[in-house]
Amino acid sequence: MKSFAKELEANIRKDRDWVARYGGEEFIVVLPDTDLELARSIAERIRKKVMDRVLVIDNNKIRITASFGVYTVCDGDKCMTTDGIIEMVDKKLYKAKISGRNTVES
């Protein structure tokens, strides 16, 4: 989990974005002033970097994968509540997981 968190932090803008652990194996990445297309692109870049990384644990090589749910907070002048955002992102993440994992859904 620490390795994954470091990968997330390495791929965000230090001056405005932030990462937080949310639940057991989930993280929230907040990308202010970022449209859906760019957010999806960032998630895809991180997904590929995670997939390409090989971890060695007790002399065993392990590859991990990541699934992402991506959603935008505001659509024009209409913005969602925090609970609404988390609900929608959770639905996107669930879709990514049932679609075979290691994917980005938006």
**Which residues form the catalytic set?**
25
Residue pair 42/34 in contact (Cβ under 8 Å)? The answer is: yes
Q: Which two tokens stand for residue 22?
A: 């949310």
Quote the CA–CA distance of 96 and 86 in Å, as a whole number: 15
Q: Is 29 exposed, middle or buried (0-12, 13-18, 19+ CB in 10 A)?
A: buried
Quote the CA–CA distance of 93 and 104 in Å, as a whole number: 8
